Structures are given as C-alpha cells and as structure tokens.
Structure 1
C-alpha cells in the first residue's frame, strides 16, 4: 500500500510517497536524497511511532500511516562540523567566564558567605533533559546552569520555593508553550531549545520565564497578586546581580560596566567614572538598575498575554498544570 507522508525538516516540508511494506532504512535513504542528512544523523518524530522498531522493519510496523506528519531532526555532515566548532568555542568562552567569576569571588567574602548560608531545601531537587531529543547532554547542562544560577537560588531562598523537577519542553510537542508549572512546583518545564533544534534560546530570556513559573508556585491566575510577585522576583534577580557586579565587571575601583544594562558609551584608553565621586557613581548604578526593571515590566506584560494559566495555584487540584505560552 502506497501512502503520502509529509516530512518537515528545518522549516521545509517534503512530500514523500512510500510503500508501507518497504523498510525503515529505505525510507531514510529517500530522506537522505531529499535533505542530504545522513541516515545515522536522522531522527524521526511522529505520533504512533514504534520506538522498538528496527531499520529493517516495515514502515507499517514502524507506525507510519497515510498523511501522518513527521518531524525529522538532523544535520548534514557539513553542518555537524560547523556546530562542533561553535560548541567548542562556546565551551571555551563559558570556561573563561567561570574562571573570571571564581577569581572575582576570591576577593569577595560577602559573596562566599551568601553561597554557604543558602538553604539547600529551597532549590530544584532533580534535573532532567528529554532523552529522545538530540544533544540531551547539552540540554541537561543548560538546565543545570539555570538551576544553579545564583540569582535564581537567591530568590528561591528568599521566598522558600522548592521545585521537585526542572525539565524541558519539546518545541514540536508543545509549540505554543514557553513554560509549564505543575502542582505548584512539583515540576517546572521550560522551552529551552530553538524551533529547529539547532541550539538553545537566550539564557536570560528563559530565566525570566523561569521567574514567571516560580511565581505560579503561589498564584495561578494572572491577577494583581501574581503580577506583584512576578515583578518582585524579576526585580530581586536584577538587584542581586547588581550586588555581584563589582567583582565581575570592574573597570576602576567602585565602578562597573554591564553592557546589557547600560546604553552609555565608553572611550577606549580612558578611565570611565574614575573622576566621579562615589555618590555620582551610585546614582548612575541606580539609573541603570531602574532602566533594567522598566524593561522587565514590559517583558512581563508581553509574557502574560501569551500565558494560558487558569485558577489560583493555592487552590489547584492535584494534576492541574500551570502553563506559559
């Protein structure tokens, strides 16, 4: 029996005619001709897939039917080489940043005391990536970075938030969702991957979604109570990072520069802020913090407009999810 199967790959849909009595490997060979993705790099996702099927099984055993939509993941050999180079560069950059932060904290006793006094009850007790998606190890590392983010742990400790599981949402399985909180913190799921599964979304964007989902530990509906808590969490994250600035982005003693939070320009070779008195430097820091918080408020409003949460979390029955679209 010949059927028509639409196969989506990196935003393009290929219409493939196949005989259900042919093998999985022959179907993958067709896809290789269409997309240049080697068979060993192909991963096929669709409802009804038989996970135990083998390459020499028929497509009928595999679970294909007429007109079923298939999402194919995978990169060409050339793309894999490029991705590896990008990943190696990313790892090197992250290691450099970690080394700098570790060196800065060596000279910051107050930062070390904050880390050692955090209540370990208020954290993410388990972290899981989705094993059926590509680069599961990298996804777990990304989630671990979120879970161990100092600003997030700071607000979780302040508000006594405990989350059982931090995991991810698959874009093709939940195309409208950015986050999901189930049972007031039993689990929080975040959409960390790009739509094409070729990388990860911006870390700080996802962290703002995480703050949104943490607020759902207390409130379900996006009422004034929720908005106040959500704004408070984002403000506390921003203020906490400003409190850690002076060891991470020092230019001169008592002054710092954060390229994400400041629109000011700096001339190379000079000593920006060196001649300013302390009260002027503090005033500038406060203006930068206020600007960051104003941007956060705007982003919170946009996030709430695409969130489908219903019902107050405090009264939610067991099994009721809280989600952010």
Structure 2
C-alpha cells in the first residue's frame, strides 16, 4: 500500500511523517514521543476528520489521510518531571513540619476532628513564572482566582483540590489557554496577552479555570465533561447573583425551568446581568418581554457554546488512553 504523508505541528515545529495506512495509532504515538518528548498518554491530536477509535486501530481508520495536518498538544516529560520534583520537595517540607509538631507535643483545641473544607478543597500553592515580566502582578491575579468566593464555593461543593495553580507562558505554548496535569496535581492558566503588554480579562481566565477544574473529574471533552463544566459555570454565576441579591434562589418568573446544564448556565448569566456573555439578539420593538428574554437566552447559549469550543480546542488536557 502507498504510504500516507502527514505533518505534525508541535509548539512551532513541524515534523513530517510517512506512515503505512495499516500502521496503528499506538505506533504513531510512540513515534511522536521520540520526536517531541510528549508521552503517549499525554498526547492530544487535533486534525480535520478525527475519529474516536482505540489505540490498536489503524491511522487510516482514525481518519488520517495523505496531506493531513495534525496539531499535537501535551506537556513534555521535562515539564512533568519538574512538576513532580516541585511536588516532592513540598511533600518533604510538610513531613518535616509534621514531625516537629509531634515532637513538641502541643495540644490544640478544636471544634472539629477533621480539617475544614476550606483547607482541603483549595489551591495548595500559587506559583507565577518568575522569568516572565511583572511576576508580582501574575501572583496577584492567581491569588484573586484562588480566593474568588464563587470558585471556592464550587471547589468545596464538588470537593476539588489542586496542588499548584500556575501560569502558561504565551511564547512557549501559544496555542493553549489552560492545562490540567494529572487530574489536579497542577493547573496552568494563560494569564498574559501574546505580546506580554498586559493580562487577559479576569472573567476570561476564570472561565478557563472552571474548564480545567472539570478535568479533575473527566479527562476527555465528552458529554460527561460538558455537563459538569456547564454546571460549574452556572453555579459560579448563580453564586455571584445570590451574593449581590442577598439570596440563594433564582426566582425570576420570566424564565421557565432549564432543560439542560447549558441552558441553566446561560439563564444564570442572563439573570445575573452579564454584559460579556449576553451577546447580540434580534429582538424588535414589537416583541413581548417573554420573547425578548427568550432571544437573549438563545444568544447567550450560542455565545457560551462558541467560547467553550474555543476552550476545548486550546486546552492541553486529555484523558490517558486505555
């Protein structure tokens, strides 16, 4: 059989490959590991005509054809090794502190026998990248995200814990907006603009954070992921609206009960008065109030779908292959 020629794009480098149509995806992933140092279980391939098939399927069955351009996303072994080394050092310090506390025999009064939810379900470390401009501002933004009342609310409710909250360097991974390493070991967020002349808006970065928190539970961007991610965004919007209104209930009579998590999320944004996600509507002066609200809701749902698709396309997280 005639070989197929494909090109792999990874962080600005192009790697041409020639494969027989009967070659398996497992073989392709091993070749890519040799070229890029990205382990097979961390590789995510993006290309037109992609099909969900097992690793022993052929590249032809996976939708790869002659001339296909493929984008490879995933952390390298060196990056993961650095994270593990940092985590190991942190664990060593915690062990030393525990041993000191035990030797001191200090008795502490407590009203609870278990750690508080705030201490367990949180971001345990904040680490801006010191080699990038203005790291103090990056730290302030990461701290604001970590202490955002709505984010803390959903983390406690869903029992999410993250080891390290840090940032992505635009010049190193320009195609990524977020990355979740090992289901919560670390979350990396794109904080800065392409030219390092400022930071992305807070709500944009926080929405990426909700996306990456969902990867604590679900690896692939399947229906389970979409449902939970939409629920998290809805709960963030509801929490903020409840805080502003002094209540924990959505009781606007102009909306019917939502039929899906996405609709509930959009409804929460509309009721919260969001100007970022509402989008333009086609309402006219003759529309009834209910019709205008319906059109605004539809426009908001469309905007949310587009934004979430962009996050999926620019997310470096994927589930390990079985």
**TM-score (norm: length of structure 2):** 0.48
Structure with higher Rg: it is: 1
**So what's the TM-score if we normalise by structure 1?**
0.47
